[in-house]
Structure 1
Amino acid sequence: MTGRRPQASRVVGLGRPVPLSAILGHHRRGPADPTHRRIGTGWLRASRTPEGPVLLKLAPLADGVRADAWGPGAEWAIDQVPRLVGADDDPSGFVPRPEHPPLVEALRRFGSYRVGATDLVLEALAPACLEQVVTGKEAFRAFRLLTAEYGEPAPGPTDDPGSAAFGMRLPPTAEVWARVPSWKFLAAGVEQRRSRTLVRAATRATALERTLGRDSAAVDAALRSLPGIGPWTSAEVRQRAHGDADAWSIGDYHVGKGITWALTGEALDDDACTEVLEPYRGHRFRVQQLLALMGLRPPRRAPRMTLPTHTPYATRGRS
């Protein structure tokens, strides 16, 4: 344990309230994710920075956030907090159209929302690979099991049963992801298609981190040059690691239907969703998130998908 006292602390003034749950909740892979934890109105986040492991604690203030950090990556994480909570996101030019009243209302209610960036590509890519072609519950379980076995305890008071950070873990390193045996992936419910994609990506981790700072099209091309990574996976990574406000989740089983239902009253396919979103080019992921914050989704007309009990799983189109 690094100790109970933070190794770095800072108050980050942004001139606006920061909706931490809307921003950091997008990085949490299910309620039992050992790398992210909500504590009241604040959040704990365990990650691997270029300077080493860190446990970051964020608490909202009236016009910004307070950040505390433990571990070798503490200073890096503290310096990166403004980008993490969306300080570099520019919503100018985003104007909901009058024919889309739910989006007008979403901006009114959640106008302080910004698209954040972690600046950590593999951290976003590894769980996205696990989430391809399966339900969220399956993917979250796999990430939790693999992180429990191959991650490490996060720095800070994570071994103190009285601490809110008790039991939090770091995600596996690129080197560890690349060496996870195929049978261990299978034991976590991850068939070869997904595990092979993740292992290949882990071997290219250094090159992937160099995509930071590039424009969206270049990042998308670099990510999709890897076998097994398609438009959906690329978008999921760019949303989180690069803070790409345009990277909507094309190819997702639910997202396109949800957006079109909210904006047109009909649950339509991705081609139709792309057309509906065209006036918001540059802000299409912002639209997705604002509508999600409103809780708008089509009514269910069928039972939820059942979880498979065997592998490999049936493909449902996400890659």
Structure 2
Amino acid sequence: MNEPLDQEHCYRAVAGRDARFDGWFFTAVHTTGIYCRPSCPARTPLARNVSFFSTAAAAQGAGFRACRRCRPDAAPGSPEWDVRADVVARAMRLIADGEVERSGVPGLAARLGYSERQLHRLVVAELGVGPLALARAQRAQTARLLVETTDLPMADVAFAAGFASVRQFNDTVREVFATTPTELRRGRRGAHGGPPGWLTLRLAARAPYSADEVLFFLGAHAVPGLEEWDGTTFSRVLDLPHGPAVVRLSPAADGGAGVTVRLRLGELRDLAAAVSRCRRMLDLDADPAAVDDVLGADPALAPLVAAAPGRRVPASPDADELAARAVLGQQVSVAGARTLTARVLTAAGTPLAEPVGTLTHAFPRPEALADADLSAVGLPGARHRTVHALATALADGAVALGPGAERAEAERALRAVPGIGPWTAALVGLRGLADPDVWLPGDLALRRSLAALGSSDTDAATRWRPWRSYAVLHLWALAVPSLFTRPATPLTRAPDLPRSA
């Protein structure tokens, strides 16, 4: 079980209006009956009048309403759930991805390998509320997004957000936000309207956050037909539970820490899953202060951290896809991997009902990839067999890489697939499972950077815990600056190294 919140430290953060703690905990004020994020600009309440909760759901469960001024429901998510590997953290990742909405608490428990009663007991013991209350809080947040960013009828909003009835929707909004859905829409602020058929919203991040760099990195790996990069906006097809969607991501219009998201969903009920996967892809919930404190204290990395504070680890919205792409990219350059992946996309991907710009297909799901004829793709025989073995293992559950995956078990299962070694399995952990503490053994770009810094691969493998994934990104930026918008001084002329990045 995680340590309980430290009341003194929490109050100190509230008194200082420290935005670094937004999402880490929530402040409930007994005299007003509302809960806030730590950085709320309202007058600081007296210490004796506040309680602290680790989740918004727990604050709501205790009878507090969301502050209209600081909008705690829009705070960045807690980095704790990305860092931790225990069952509660895995449950939180699955709930954020919409598992309770799709299969209920029994389905959530089954995904985690626990009974429903065991899971409820574990979650309540740590967070004070159970999975249903956590899912309810997410439904309320999804409803608010739809109310404020679309002109959809309220009945459509209610069912798209996962409510069983319009009455339940109305009651929940009034209870959580102390206002009605109509009043929320009347007072909406920020981006809304947008192109017909698109939802526009902003996703927050903890500063510092360089959206330009993260999107550039993703754009440098863009696979034609699946992804698109125009120099400012990164677009891609998302394979969501109820069908494909298209997302366009660009830096926040006001220049702040965050990203503007435009979504074209096949099914509105996939909104929560789409938002969760975009947050993971962009590493929006990271705690840059904690990462930079550890890595910046190392003399070798200090100049790199100072040059790019808050550097993030761009991930994939779909770990199964990332695993297949990692195998396709074995022993070839980034450009070569993009070409091979584009061929696989055409051969086995799911076509969109109609193209959106240059986007034409969703990446094939494991079942389709296992059954596909890839003879014309140009894969070497051994790699063709590895792709098939991996797809089969993913399809039959021998390898599980979903949001609730147990990371150590996932690595073990991946390495049991013929043709997948330590580097490929580690890359899936780094960019597929968004594990913040992964080292890539034998990576050529890392070796070049380490040699320049006077370090060894063996030394680095244990040196920068628990943030080795972020150390990897700093070292990649040193060796392959062409993949980053803010490169440190390069070692060579930006080589397109194999088995890297």
Pairwise TM-score range, normalised by the shorter structure: 0.7 to 0.9
Q: Judge conservation of contact 2:322–2:432 (CA < 8 Å) in 1.
A: yes
Q: Which residue of 2 aligns with 1:122?
A: 320
Q: Of 458, 472, 475, which aligns to 1:288?
A: 472
Structure 1: which 5+ residue stretches go unaligned?
Answer: 159-164, 267-271, 306-315
Aligned to 1:33: 224
User: Quick one: which amino acid aligns to residue 380 of structure 2?
Assistant: E
Q: 2 CA distance for matches of 1:237 and 1:304?
A: 20
Query: How far off its partner does 1:38 sit?
Result: 1.8
Q: Tell me the TM-score normalised to structure 1 length.
A: 0.76
| Residues 49, 120 of structure 1: 8 Å contact kept | no
Structure 1 residues 23 and 231 mapped into 2: Cα distance closer, same or farther (>3 Å)? farther
Q: Partner of 1:191 in structure 2?
A: 380
Q: Which has the higher contact order (CA 8 A, sep 6+)?
A: 1
Q: Name 2:369's counterpart in structure 1.
A: 177
Change (3 A) 1:154 1:255: farther
In structure 2, distance between residues paired with 1:28 and 1:237: 19
1:228 matched to 2:425: no
Q: 1:304 to 1:171 in 2, by over 3 A?
A: closer
Query: In the aligned structure 1, how far is the partner of 2:303 from the partner of 2:458?
Result: 21
Alignment of 1:78-97 (within 5 A): 78-91=275-288, 92=290, 94-97=294-297
The DSSP-based 3-state class of the residue aligned with 1:95 is helix
Aligned 8 A contact 1:46 1:56 in 2: yes
How far 1:98 moved relative to its partner? 4.8
Looking at structure 2, the residues matched to 148 and 41 of structure 1 have their Cα atoms a distance apart, in angstroms, of 26
Q: Compute the displacement of 1:57 (Å).
A: 0.8
**Take 1:317 and 1:18, find their aligned partners in 2: how far apart are those partners?**
27
* CA shift in 2, pair 1:30/1:192, >3 Å: same
**253, 256, 267: which is aligned to 2:446?**
256
Q: Distance in 1 between matches of 2:319 and 2:438?
A: 15
Q: Determine the structure 2 residue equivalent to 1:205.
A: 394
Partner-residue secondary structure (3-state), 1:223:
helix
> Cα deviations across residues 238-282 of structure 1 (Å, max 9, x unaligned)?
122211222233233x22322313422x8xxxxx31313422022
User: Counterpart amino acid of 1:260?
Assistant: L
Superposed displacement of residue 95, structure 1: 2.9
Distance 1:282 1:63, change over 3 A: same
Deviation at 1:119, TM superposition (A): 4.9
Aligned pairs for 1:1-319 within 5 A: 5-16=196-207, 18-27=209-218, 30=221, 33-61=224-252, 62-72=256-266, 74-75=270-271, 76-91=273-288, 92=290, 94-100=294-300, 103-154=301-352, 158=356, 165-184=357-376, 188-206=377-395, 207=397, 208-252=399-443, 254-264=444-454, 272-294=456-478, 295=481, 297-299=490-492
CA RMSD in angstroms, aligned pairs only: 3.2
Letter in 2 for 1:96: G
CA distance in 2, matches of 1:231, 1:274: 14
In the alignment, the residues of structure 2 paired with residue 116 and residue 46 of structure 1 have an alpha-carbon distance, to the nearest angstrom, of 16
Question: What SS class does the counterpart of residue 280 from structure 1 fall into?
Answer: coil
The secondary structure found in structure 2 opposite 1:279 is coil
Quote the offset at 1:7 in angstroms. 4.3
CA contact (8 A) 2:226 2:360 kept: yes
Distance 1:196 1:139, change over 3 A: same
| Pair 297,155 (structure 1): closer, same or farther in 2 beyond 3 Å | farther
Which protein shows a greater Rg? 2
TM-score computed with the length of structure 2 as normaliser:
0.51
Aligned amino acid, residue 282 of structure 1 = P
Deviations 1:117-146 (A, max 9, x none): 445221101111111233333332211222
SS in 2 for 1:181: coil
Which consecutive residues of structure 2, in runs of 5 or more, have no partner in the other structure?
Answer: 1-194, 482-488
Shift of the alpha carbon at 1:80? 3.1
1:196 alignment partner, SS class: helix
Once residues 382 and 229 of structure 2 are traced to their aligned partners in structure 1, the CA distance between those partners, rounded to angstroms, is 32
Deviation (angstroms), 1:13: 2.1
Question: Equivalents in 2 of 1:42, 1:304: separation in Å?
Answer: 23
